[in-house]
């Protein structure tokens, strides 16, 4: 059977493979190569070794955006997951109207980042105006604004994953714990949370990676104001590419650093939470 | 028992309150879209009154001056086209690489998984160079780019499902004289229907809302998507028309809400399935 299928590879495999080569493999390899070059278009690229990487790490705005993004990822991770978990717990308690609440909480997730950013810009500026200030005047307004925005957007998504996890916990385990005299908090921390570790792994992984990759919302809510102080990594890379001529190589070097960072954080995070998963 | 009932009622009350807060931002934008543009930044939280109400003027501006409906059309075209192409091509690819075990197919699978974790910023500059060189800066070309960049997740999810299909069914079909193509379309494809829905929804959510990829690869003078138009309206070209932006935001949210309410069950299932596999 394998042989019979194999002959049909031009039909089954080739379209995806060609598109994948154009859309991913070639740009990826070119990207790694160009991070070691100075260029404005590909044809005038000259090899310059590590100098792009050195320039990238000497750029104070890049370093600032680095810490700003890391802090953002950690805070958003905690805020989103704690609230989403709490809501999931509450909504699996047979409350009246659970389905409507789920529908409402999930909805913002389907709205695009650019649209979300402008919706919240109106709200935040409206709230800040009576205090004679605005979102683009303080980097921490932008920071907490983004936290509220991504929490609003992603809590529903994580809630769905947590609810699916909670519903897959076998009822007899909870019953056994209750009969053995475990109190409410004990059941939560000794039974529910350990049983939920696979869902927690997924949700924390998604929210930390989303936090690092955040771009659209950052661009539309603050666009890096005031003076690039609320610029996160992805936006900083974008601005290096398209805002400064002659810095394309540095932008690509930053992008490679960014890529390694996202992969590393994802792996570390997976390892840390996977080790706490229990066999069912 | 009574205590529990009271707790439940309290919970419902609390969540009703939170839910109202949850939709409030969109509602604020909605009533601002009916106000004259100069009043929006002055008093964003006040309902429109006789002096500030302007009817559907803002909607007319967004549609006439900024070609908003054309952008909606292109966004629909790109999203629907890409999702259909992605579903068809990647499911065929996934079936092939799961059933034919060679070093090459294994390498393709690993590359697909790898591509899922690569952030877009890593390839955005070179991708826009490649599309420029190949002349793919049109909505039709963009479909190919989306197939390439979205293949990772789709192939991964389809492979996960193909592995769970007993191979005997396909063997029986082949022995009865089906060609591999017929086997795929009349045996494998119907079995995979739930996965098609999950993958389709995840890819739709991504492509519909995507901003940077079309912004960098499309010929923006000719083709704009919804996200691009809104960013363009807010951009530094002339005075910012807050009224038109409010109208555009509402018009961007409405199709999403309709889509969501009409296939909510599938969306939530798709998200849960995608997460378990991811």
Chain B residues close to A2, C-beta within 8 Å: 99-101
Looking at chain A, the whole-number percentage of residues with pLDDT higher than 70 is: 98
Q: How confident is the model at residue B135 (pLDDT cuts 50, 70, 90)?
A: confident
Residue ranges per structural domain of chain B: 62-277
Whether the bond into B278 is cis, omega within 30 of 0: no
State pLDDT tens for residues B39-81.
777 778 877 877 777 878 888 888 888 888 999 999 999 999 9
Report which DSSP code applies to B238. S
State pLDDT tens for residues A77-136.
999 999 999 999 988 887 888 888 888 999 898 888 889 998 998 888 888 888 878 777
Q: Read off the pLDDT of each residue in B208-237 and give the average, rounded to a whole number.
A: 86
In the predicted model, what is the mean pLDDT of chain A?
86
pLDDT at B275: 64
pLDDT at B237: 56
Looking at chain B, the whole-number percentage of residues with pLDDT higher than 70 is: 96
State pLDDT tens for residues A191-238.
888 888 888 888 888 888 889 889 999 988 888 778 788 889 999 999
Q: Which residues have C-beta within 8 Å of that of residue A51, sequence separation ≥ 6?
A: A38
A270 vs B85, which has greater pLDDT?
Answer: B85
What is the DSSP secondary-structure string of B105-160?
HHHHHHHHHHHHHS-HHHHHHHHHHHHHHHT--SHHHHHHHHHHHHHHHHHHHHHH
Using the Cβ of B82 and the Cβ atoms of chain A, whether some distance falls under 8 Å is answered with no
State pLDDT tens for residues B158-203.
998 898 888 888 888 888 888 888 889 988 999 998 889 888 988 8
A59-274: what fold?
A: MetI-like fold (1.10.3720)
Using the Cβ of B71 and the Cβ atoms of chain A, whether some distance falls under 8 Å is answered with no
| Contact criterion met (CB < 8 Å) for B122 and A114 | no
pLDDT at B278: 44
Q: Which residues have C-beta within 8 Å of that of residue A238, sequence separation ≥ 6?
A: A215, A219, B121, B124, B212
In the predicted model, what is the mean pLDDT of chain B?
86
pLDDT at A278: 64
Whether the predicted pLDDT of A280 surpasses 50: no
CATH number for the domain formed by residue range(s) B62-277: 1.10.3720.10
Q: How confident is the model at residue B236 (pLDDT cuts 50, 70, 90)?
A: low
Residue ranges per structural domain of chain A: 2-34, 59-274
Candidates B6, B15, B44, B151: best to mutate against A (most CBs of A within 10 A) is: B15
Using the Cβ of A62 and the Cβ atoms of chain B, whether some distance falls under 8 Å is answered with no
Phi-psi region of A212 (alpha: psi -120 to 50; beta: other; left: phi over 0): alpha
Q: Which residue of B has its CA nearest to A213?
A: B119
Q: Would you tell me how many other CB atoms lie within 10 Å of the CB of residue A102? A: 20
HSE at residue B167, side-chain half, CA atoms within 13 A, is 9
Written as six digits, the tokens of B151 are 């293949």
Q: Read off the pLDDT of each residue in A164-187 and give the average, rounded to a whole number.
A: 85
Rounded CA separation A83/A126 (Å): 25
Written as six digits, the tokens of A219 are 């661009």
Q: How far is B206 from chain A (nearest CA, A)?
A: 9
Whether the predicted pLDDT of A63 surpasses 80: yes
A60-74, A86-100, B43-57, B138-152: the lowest-pLDDT one: B43-57
Asked if A79 contacts B192 with a C-beta cutoff of 8 angstroms, the reply is no
pLDDT at B8: 81
Which residues numbered 98-127 in B keep a CB inside 8 Å of some CB on A? 99-101, 108, 111-112, 115, 117-127
Which residues numbered 164-193 in B keep a CB inside 8 Å of some CB on A? 167, 170-171, 174, 179-181, 184
Beta strands in chain A, from DSSP E residues, in sequence order: 37-38, 46-47
């Amino acid at each position: 059977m394998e042989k019979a299928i194999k002959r049909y590879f031009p039909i089954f495999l080739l379209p995806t493979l060609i598109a994948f080569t154009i859309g991913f493999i070639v740009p990826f390899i070119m990207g790694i190569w160009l991070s070691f070059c100075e260029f404005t278009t590909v044809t005038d690229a000259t090899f310059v070794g590590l100098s792009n990487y050195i320039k990238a790490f000497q750029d104070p705005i890049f370093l600032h955006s680095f810490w700003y993004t890391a802090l953002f990822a950690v805070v958003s991770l905690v805020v989103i997951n704690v609230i989403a978990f709490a809501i999931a717990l509450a909504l699996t308690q047979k409350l009246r109207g659970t389905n409507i609440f789920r529908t409402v909480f999930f909805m913002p997730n389907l709205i695009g980042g650019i649209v979300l950013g402008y919706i919240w810009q109106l709200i935040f500026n409206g709230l800040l105006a009576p205090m004679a200030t605005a979102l683009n005047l303080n980097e921490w307004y932008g920071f907490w604004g983004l936290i509220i925005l991504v929490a609003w957007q992603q809590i529903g998504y994580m809630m769905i994953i947590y609810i699916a996890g909670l519903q897959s916990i076998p009822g007899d385990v909870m019953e056994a714990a209750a009969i053995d005299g475990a109190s409410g908090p004990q059941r939560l921390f000794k039974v529910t949370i350990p049983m939920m570790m696979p869902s927690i792994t997924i949700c924390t992984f998604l929210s930390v990676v989303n936090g690092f990759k955040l771009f659209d919302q950052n661009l539309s809510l603050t666009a890096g104001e005031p003076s690039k102080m609320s610029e996160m990594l992805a936006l900083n890379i974008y601005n290096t590419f398209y805002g400064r001529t002659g810095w394309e190589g540095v932008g690509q070097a930053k992008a490679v650093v960014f890529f390694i960072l996202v992969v590393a954080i994802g792996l570390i995070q997976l390892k840390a939470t996977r080790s706490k998963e229990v066999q069912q | 028992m009574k205590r529990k009932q009271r707790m439940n009622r309290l919970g419902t009350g609390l969540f009703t309150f939170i839910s109202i807060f949850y939709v409030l931002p969109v509602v604020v934008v909605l009533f601002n879209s009916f106000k004259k543009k100069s009043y929006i930044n002055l008093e964003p939280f006040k309902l429109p009154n006789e002096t500030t109400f302007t009817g559907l003027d803002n909607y007319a501006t967004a549609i006439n001056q900024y070609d908003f409906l054309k952008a909606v059309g292109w966004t629909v075209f790109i999203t629907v086209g890409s999702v259909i192409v992605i579903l068809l091509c990647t499911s065929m690819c996934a079936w092939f690489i799961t059933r034919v075990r060679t070093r090459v197919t294994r390498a393709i699978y690993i590359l697909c998984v790898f591509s899922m974790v690569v952030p877009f910023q890593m390839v955005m500059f070179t991708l826009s160079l490649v599309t420029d060189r190949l002349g793919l800066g049109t909505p039709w070309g963009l479909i190919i780019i989306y197939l390439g960049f979205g293949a990772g997740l789709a192939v991964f999810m389809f492979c996960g499902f193909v592995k769970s299909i007993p191979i005997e069914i396909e063997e029986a079909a082949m022995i009865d004289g089906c060609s591999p193509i017929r086997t795929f379309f009349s045996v494998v494809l119907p079995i995979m229907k739930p996965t098609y829905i999950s993958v389709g929804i995840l890819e739709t959510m991504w492509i519909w809302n995507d901003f940077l990829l079309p912004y960098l690869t499309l010929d923006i003078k000719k083709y704009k998507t919804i996200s691009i138009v809104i960013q363009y309206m807010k951009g530094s070209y002339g005075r910012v028309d807050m009224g038109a932006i409010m109208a555009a935001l509402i018009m961007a949210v409405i199709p999403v809400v309709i889509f969501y309410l009409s296939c909510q069950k599938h969306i939530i299932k798709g998200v849960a399935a995608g997460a378990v596999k991811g």
